[in-house]
Amino acid sequence: MINFIYAHIKELISQSSSIVVTSHHNPDGDAIGSILAMTALLRKTGKEAVAMVPNDYPAFLKWLPGSKKVIIYRSNEQMADDIISRADLIFCLDYNALHRTNEMEGALRKATGKKILIDHHLEPVLDDFDYYLSVIQISSTSELVYRFVEGCSWLDLIDQEIASELFVGIMTDTGSFSFSCNYPSTFQIAAALISTGINPEQIHRLVYDTYSENRLRLLGYCLSEKLTILPEFSTAYIALSKAELDRFHHQVGDTEGIVNYALSIENIKLAVLLTERKDRIRLSFRSKGDLSVNMFAREYFNGGGHNNAAGGDSFLSLDDTILRLKEALVQYRDIITRSSF
């Protein structure tokens, strides 16, 4: 069945003249890595293809080959709308529902081009797409793109540029191969990418060892002043107001990974990072073992994601969102208590 899907999508590509490769709002390493790799691969097959994301992405990903050609929808909506409307084919990578593209959703819903989902998140909204390749057991969308390329017999098209983009996607979505990577195939694919001649140590440094002074000071502030432990719920959270973010000259990507420090505490099963944005409170959830933050985020904060990593939104104030979180934890207490890690 899966080989049939590969063949069918390959045929759709051959019949298309204009292709857009999209990803979700607040794109991360897997989002950027997968769309850059897919776009480069499509161009190697002779197709006109562009990569597009709703809003800007972290500076530590902007060294990637092809990143300068990514279209930021928020920066030029009129041009982006025109590109989407003219596309015969629209790849939807690393998101499971069109609403996850935020401001780009309207243009995508109006588009006449066929939409192809390639993603690994739980509970995809399949009615949003014409075709889908959704496998939740996969470490990352970048790994799924590699498998798609393999299924299309295009592995010879993977050069060092594409390999580095896919490697970044897999590396960042597994926390440097520390979670969501229990299958040998993930490491076999990483090895195959390294065999193209890329330098994994350098790639790791470029992603993880390029913090600004402000970002590091923000991390220190979070851990020393903002970390709250709720031992009765085996939970830790960090809440940052917009004023606090502004104090440290917050840039896109500066809070990435902070929630994992809260999760690293002994006997903590659930960690939450709350950040005040312009129009909402963004919540990032992480958990250990069989405790599902996907279910928690869906039930209480209009979100979702993976079993151990999810996101959600609140349109209350920051203080009221914290109260809402604590109320949700009371209701979720038995599930937290029964979970193992």
Angle between helix 141-151 and helix 184-194 axes, rounded to 10 deg = 70
In tens, the pLDDT along 21-75 reads 999 999 999 999 999 999 999 999 999 999 999 999 999 999 999 999 999 999 9
pLDDT tens-digit profile of 8-24?
999 999 999 999 999 99
Give the DSSP H/E element, type plus range, for residue 122. none
CA distance readout (Å), 161 to 65, 67, 186, 199, 215:
6, 11, 19, 11, 28
Structure confidence at residue 1 as a pLDDT band (50, 70, 90) = low
pLDDT above 70 covers a percentage of the chain that reads 99
Please tell me the distance from the alpha carbon of residue 175 to that of residue 158, in angstroms, as a whole number.
Answer: 23
pLDDT 10s digits, 201-259: 999 999 999 999 999 999 999 999 999 999 999 999 999 999 999 999 999 999 999 99
CA distance 103 to 105: 6
Whether the Cβ atoms of residue 340 and residue 289 lie closer than 8 Å to each other? yes
Cα(90)–Cα(291) distance, rounded to whole angstroms? 35
What pLDDT, on a 0 to 100 scale, did the predictor assign at position 224? Answer: 98
Q: What is the mean pLDDT of residues 272-284?
A: 96
Cα–Cα distance for residue pair 116/92, rounded to 1 Å: 6
Query: Helix 29-44 and helix 160-173: axis angle, to 10°?
Result: 160
d(CA 119, CA 57): 19
Got the DSSP string for 250-300?
Answer: --TTTTTTHHHHHHTSTT--EEEEEEE-SSSEEEEEEE-TT--HHHHHHHH
- pTM for the model stands at 0.90
- Could you give the residue ranges of the DSSP H alpha helices within 177-226? 184-194, 200-208, 213-221
pLDDT for 150 equals 96
CB distance 133 to 144 below 8 Å: yes
Report pLDDT for 340.
86
Q: Counting Cβ atoms within 10 Å, is residue 13 exposed (0-12), middle (13-18) or buried (19+)? A: buried
Confidence of residue 180 (pLDDT cuts 50, 70, 90): confident
Taking only the tens place, the pLDDT of each residue in 127-165 is: 999 999 999 999 999 999 999 999 999 999 999 999 999
Q: What is the mean pLDDT of residues 95-110?
A: 96
Region 272-297 average pLDDT: 95
| Average of per-residue pLDDT values in the chain | 95
Distances (CA, A) of 193 to 63, 171, 199, 307: 18, 12, 10, 27
Contacts of 38 (CB under 8 A, 6+ apart): 21, 49, 51, 91, 93, 118, 145
**Length of the chain measured in residues:** 341
The per-residue pLDDT for 289 is 92
Distances in Å between the Cα of 259 and the Cα atoms of 91, 236, 271, 283 are 30, 9, 6, 10
